[in-house]
C-alpha cells in the first residue's frame, strides 16, 4: 500500500511539474497560446462559456507575432494524472473536449461520468440548459434563427461548428441558433446524457404548442431513456385538444422519480403502469384504474366521475393508497353515486362547500371537501379535495 501511495504521489508531482514547465515556456515566449484546446484547464478563468464552444476563436484568429506551439498530449498522461486533470476542468471544458472526436468523447465519458447535473427549459422560441458542476456553473441559450434580432448578429461572430455530424450555428460561445430551439435543446441534452450518464438531467420543463413537438420529446425519451427528478410539459394553446393516445404514449416513455406535471388538455389519460412519485398533476380526466396506478403523496387531476371517486374512497377505506396525503380533482357532483357505501363520521353543508370525514381500517382519518359551482376556465365547475389528517404528536406533561 505504501508503494502505491508513493507512485501516486510521484505521478501527481510529475503532472504538476509538467504544468509549471509549460507555463514557464509560454511566459518565456511572451504569450500564451491562442488555442485553448491545447490545455484548457491551465488557462485563466474567463467569462462563463457554455460548452466551451470557443474553438471558432482559435480557428479564425491568428497572430504572426506568436510562434507555433507544441500541442500537449493530454490523453497520453497516466490514468490517475488524466483523471485528476479532468476533475479540475469546468463542465463546458469537459463537453468541449468530448466534441473533438469519438475517442475524446469515450475517454471523457469514462472519466467525467456523474460529475455534473443540468436543468432544461425549452419552448418553440428559446431554450436554456443550465449546468451545475463541482467547479463552475454555466448555461447555454438556444434561440430561433428567424426570431433572433438581426442587428445582434455580426458577420465576424456568427459561425458554424460540426458536432456529431450536425452543423450547428453559433452566435457566441453562450448562444446557439437553431431553427427549432426545442429540437436543438434535445440535441444538446442527448449529448449530455451520453457524456455524463442518464441521471445528469434533474429537471426538464417544456412549453409546447403543436403535437409535433410532443412527438419530438417522445422519441427523445425513447432513445436516451433518462432518469429525471422533475418533468413538466405545459400546453400553451387551451383551445386545442391533444390526442389522448399521444399523451398516453408520452407517459409510457417517462422515467420520473419525484415530480410530474402534464398540463396537456386531452379527453382522457389511461395510465397502465405504476407511477411512484411525490407529486403528480394531470390536466386530463382519469379513470379509476389510472388513479389506482398512481402511488403518490399528492395528486391533482383534471377530472373524474363521481362513481370512480366513490370506488377510490372505498379502496382507501380498505387500506389502499397508503402513501397518499392529498388529492384534488375536478368532477361533476352526483351525491348519491359519490357517497354510496361510504361511512361518514360527520357532515357539514355551507351552501356550495360540503365537508365529511371517514376512517380506514388502519385508523387513519381523512377529510373530504366538495366545492360546487366555482368559476374557472370560462365555466362553472365542481371540485373535490381529499386530505389525510396529520397525526398530532403526543404531548407528555411532567
Mean pLDDT across 291-305? 91
Query: Which three cell numbers, joined as nine digits, stand for 4?
Result: 502505491
Per-residue model confidence (pLDDT) at position 159: 66
For 90-117, what is each residue's pLDDT tens digit? Answer: 777 777 778 777 888 888 888 877 777 8
Has residue 52 got a pLDDT over 50? no
Has residue 183 got a pLDDT over 70? yes
Q: Which residue has the higher pLDDT, 367 or 21?
A: 367
Alpha-helix residue ranges (DSSP H) falling in the chain: 2-29, 55-60, 79-87, 91-98, 102-112, 181-196, 211-224, 244-253, 288-292, 306-317, 335-339
Has residue 384 got a pLDDT over 50? yes
Has residue 254 got a pLDDT over 80? yes
Per-residue model confidence (pLDDT) at position 263: 92
Per-residue model confidence (pLDDT) at position 197: 87
CA–CA distance, 10 with 12 (Å, rounded to integer): 5
Has residue 185 got a pLDDT over 70? yes
Highest mean pLDDT among 46-60, 171-185, 254-268 belongs to: 254-268
Residue % of the chain over a pLDDT of 70: 69
**Looking at the DSSP assignment, which residues form a beta bridge with residue 178?**
144
34 SS3 class: coil
The overall average pLDDT reported for the chain is: 75
Poorest-pLDDT segment among 38-42, 75-79, 144-148, 256-260: 38-42
pTM of the model: 0.74
Has residue 166 got a pLDDT over 50? yes
CA–CA distance, 42 with 85 (Å, rounded to integer): 10
- The tally of CA atoms less than 13 A away on the side-chain side of residue 331 is 26
Poorest-pLDDT segment among 14-18, 70-74, 199-203: 14-18
Amino acid at each position: 500500500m505504501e508503494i502505491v501511495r508513493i507512485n501516486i504521489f510521484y505521478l501527481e508531482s510529475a503532472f504538476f511539474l509538467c504544468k509549471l514547465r509549460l507555463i514557464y515556456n509560454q511566459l518565456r515566449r511572451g504569450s500564451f497560446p491562442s488555442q485553448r484546446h491545447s490545455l484548457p484547464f491551465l488557462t485563466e478563468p474567463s467569462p462563463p462559456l457554455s460548452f466551451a464552444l470557443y474553438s471558432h476563436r482559435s480557428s479564425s484568429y491568428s497572430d504572426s507575432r506568436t510562434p507555433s506551439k507544441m500541442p500537449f498530449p493530454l490523453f497520453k498522461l497516466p490514468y490517475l494524472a488524466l483523471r485528476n486533470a479532468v476533475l479540475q476542468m469546468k463542465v463546458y471544458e469537459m463537453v468541449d473536449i468530448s466534441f473533438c472526436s469519438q475517442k475524446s468523447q469515450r475517454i471523457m465519458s469514462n472519466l467525467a461520468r456523474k460529475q455534473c447535473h443540468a436543468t432544461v427549459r425549452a419552448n418553440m422560441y428559446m431554450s436554456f440548459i443550465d449546468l451545475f458542476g463541482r467547479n463552475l456553473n454555466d448555461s447555454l441559450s438556444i434561440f430561433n434563427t428567424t426570431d433572433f434580432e438581426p442587428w445582434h448578429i455580426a458577420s465576424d461572430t456568427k459561425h458554424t461548428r460540426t458536432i456529431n455530424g450536425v452543423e450547428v450555428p453559433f452566435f457566441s460561445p453562450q448562444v446557439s441558433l437553431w431553427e427549432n430551439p426545442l429540437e436543438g435543446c434535445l440535441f444538446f441534452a442527448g449529448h449530455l446524457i451520453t457524456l455524463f450518464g442518464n441521471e445528469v438531467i434533474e429537471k426538464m420543463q417544456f412549453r409546447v404548442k403543436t403535437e409535433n413537438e410532443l412527438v419530438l420529446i417522445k422519441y427523445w425519451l425513447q432513445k436516451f431513456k433518462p432518469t429525471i427528478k422533475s418533468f413538466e410539459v405545459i400546453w400553451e394553446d387551451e383551445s386545442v385538444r391533444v390526442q389522448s393516445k399521444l399523451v398516453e404514449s408520452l407517459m409510457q416513455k417517462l422515467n420520473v422519480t419525484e415530480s410530474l406535471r402534464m398540463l396537456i388538455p386531452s379527453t382522457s389519460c389511461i395510465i397502465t403502469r405504476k407511477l411512484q412519485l411525490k407529486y403528480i398533476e394531470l390536466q386530463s380526466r382519469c379513470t379509476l384504474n389510472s388513479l389506482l396506478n398512481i402511488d403518490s403523496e399528492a395528486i391533482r387531476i383534471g377530472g373524474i366521475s363521481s362513481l370512480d371517486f366513490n370506488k377510490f374512497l372505498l379502496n382507501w377505506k380498505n387500506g389502499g393508497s397508503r402513501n397518499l396525503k392529498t388529492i384534488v380533482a375536478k368532477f361533476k357532483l352526483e351525491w348519491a353515486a359519490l357517497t354510496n357505501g361510504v361511512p361518514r363520521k360527520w357532515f357539514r353543508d355551507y351552501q356550495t362547500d360540503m365537508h365529511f370525514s371517514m376512517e380506514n381500517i388502519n385508523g387513519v382519518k381523512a377529510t373530504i371537501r366538495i366545492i360546487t359551482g366555482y368559476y374557472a376556465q370560462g365555466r362553472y365547475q365542481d371540485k373535490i379535495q381529499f386530505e389525510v389528517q396529520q397525526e398530532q404528536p403526543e404531548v407528555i406533561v411532567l
